[in-house]
């Protein structure tokens, strides 16, 4: 294969020479083509943002998935059918790969060519242990119980305010409780959207609040939910960091997130159903639970996403009157 066909930012010197080094961040199902999936791959580089133009989408046949992963999709998509064909497990969400340039087929990075069973053995041989184990950040860290978030701080606003921030693909929410405590749920922006933190600051200023986030919540570890979080931590004071320790997704973007979050002293492992209160506002963690908290229990990280139910007691009472 011609060397120049591989984007330079995917090339890295390893113990075995120059190789294409990347992670599978996400696996995307296309309803229009049930036989074909897309692997969104991320290079092993230093970046706060991992902007979309540095990523690549690789098209591949479904049989390169693991059987467990494919079967987990059957209940979500009616178009998919049970399949007795052998699944090779060559393409795995969160997996790290080091592939020799000569081994990659033409069109792998361009997305033009469909990767079939012919690449399966190449990818299986290219699987490597992640250079960025999450345990580096979780071990020996004092982890607080989620009940620590409960507050009896008096209300200063007549309502709860939810802002859906425009980050393009993905979601990011800013939640202002009646007592003035603020929660930021996910972030997904890059250097091209320079007003993201400024937008948050402007909202806080509108309510005469400090540039302070009580808790930053990571619903799950896909790049489009954590991109740019390091910048948020630099520019805003964040008191608590909430993430599911148990579901490992040991990619470079997750390592960048956890490294930046080390500046936050209070961490909470959200790996089970739980409840906390902000005055009259009840926060219920509905997911993950005992069935979805780790990769051993559910192969698709989307199924482990934190689901947060917010109930405002005063408004519920008014609705019942």
pLDDT tens readout for residues 222-245 = 999 999 999 999 999 999 999 999
pLDDT level of residue 315 (50, 70, 90 thresholds) = low
d(CA 111, CA 140): 42
Question: What's the confidence (pLDDT) of residue 30?
Answer: 87
d(CA 124, CA 246): 25
Would you give the distance in Å from CA 233 to the centre of its chain?
A: 17
DSSP state of 179: T
DSSP state of 151: B
φ/ψ of residue 105, rounded to 5: -70, 155
Name the least confident of 38-52, 111-125, 179-193.
179-193
Tokens of 34: 């049930």
pLDDT level of residue 319 (50, 70, 90 thresholds) = very low
pLDDT (average), residues 79-95: 93
Question: What's the confidence (pLDDT) of residue 317?
Answer: 47
d(CA 133, CA 124): 20
Domains of the chain: 3-128 (no CATH), 135-320 (3.60.15.10)
d(CA 262, CA 16): 32
Percent of the chain with pLDDT over 90: 80
pLDDT level of residue 2 (50, 70, 90 thresholds) = very low
Is the predicted pLDDT of residue 157 greater than 80, yes or no? yes
Mean pLDDT of the chain: 92
Question: What's the confidence (pLDDT) of residue 133?
Answer: 98
d(CA 45, CA 42): 9
Spatial neighbors of 158 by CB under 8 A, at least 6 apart, are 178
d(CA 181, CA 32): 44
Is the predicted pLDDT of residue 318 greater than 80, yes or no? no
Spatial neighbors of 179 by CB under 8 A, at least 6 apart, are 151, 153, 154, 155, 156, 157, 278, 279, 281
**Do you know the residue count of the chain?**
321
| Of 241, 250, 19, the residue nearest 122 (C-alpha) | 19
pLDDT (average), residues 116-135: 96
| pLDDT top residue among 318 and 49 | 49
Q: What sign has the CA pseudo-torsion 177, 181, 185, 189?
A: positive
Is the predicted pLDDT of residue 17 greater than 70, yes or no? yes
Is the predicted pLDDT of residue 295 greater than 70, yes or no? yes
The tens digit of pLDDT for each residue in 173-206 reads 999 999 999 999 999 886 666 688 999 999 999 9
Question: What's the confidence (pLDDT) of residue 192?
Answer: 66
Question: What's the confidence (pLDDT) of residue 1?
Answer: 39
pLDDT level of residue 167 (50, 70, 90 thresholds) = confident
Is the predicted pLDDT of residue 136 greater than 50, yes or no? yes
Question: What's the confidence (pLDDT) of residue 166?
Answer: 82
| Of 291, 229, 287, the residue nearest 258 (C-alpha) | 229
Burial 79-106 (b: 16+ CB within 10 A, else e): ebeeeeeebbbbbbbbbbbbbbbebbee
Residues 140 and 86: beta-carbon distance below 8 Å: no
């Amino acid at each position: 294969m011609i060397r120049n066909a591989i984007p330079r930012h995917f090339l890295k010197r390893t113990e075995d020479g120059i190789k294409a080094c990347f992670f599978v961040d996400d696996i995307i199902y296309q309803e229009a083509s049930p036989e074909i999936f897309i692997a969104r791959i991320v290079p092993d580089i230093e970046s706060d943002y991992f902007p979309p133009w540095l990523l690549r989408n690789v098209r591949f046949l479904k049989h390169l998935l693991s059987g467990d992963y494919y079967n987990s999709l059957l209940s979500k998509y009616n178009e998919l059918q049970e399949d007795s064909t052998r699944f090779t497990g060559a393409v795995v969400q969160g997996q790290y790969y080091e592939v020799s340039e000569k081994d990659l087929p033409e069109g792998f990075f361009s997305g033009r060519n469909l990767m079939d069973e012919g690449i399966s053995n190449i990818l299986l041989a290219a699987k490597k242990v992640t250079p960025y184990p999450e345990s580096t950040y979780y071990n020996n860290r004092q982890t607080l119980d989620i009940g620590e978030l409960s507050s009896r701080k008096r209300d200063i606003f007549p309502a709860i305010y939810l802002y859906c921030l425009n980050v393009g693909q993905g979601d990011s929410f800013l939640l202002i409780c009646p007592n003035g405590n603020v929660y930021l749920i996910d972030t997904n922006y890059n250097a091209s959207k320079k007003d993201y933190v400024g937008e948050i600051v402007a909202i806080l200023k509108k309510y005469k609040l400090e540039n302070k986030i009580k808790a930053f919540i990571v619903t799950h570890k896909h790049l489009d939910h954590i991109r740019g979080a390091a910048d948020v931590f630099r520019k805003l004071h964040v008191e608590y960091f909430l993430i599911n320790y148990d579901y490992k997704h040991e990619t470079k973007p997750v390592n960048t997130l956890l490294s930046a979050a080390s500046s936050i002293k209070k961490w909470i492992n959200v790996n089970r159903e739980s409840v906390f209160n902000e005055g009259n506002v009840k926060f219920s963690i509905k997911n993950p639970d005992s069935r979805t908290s780790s990769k051993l229990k559910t192969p698709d990280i989307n199924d482990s996403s934190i689901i947060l139910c917010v109930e405002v007691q005063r408004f519920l009472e008014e609705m019942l009157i």
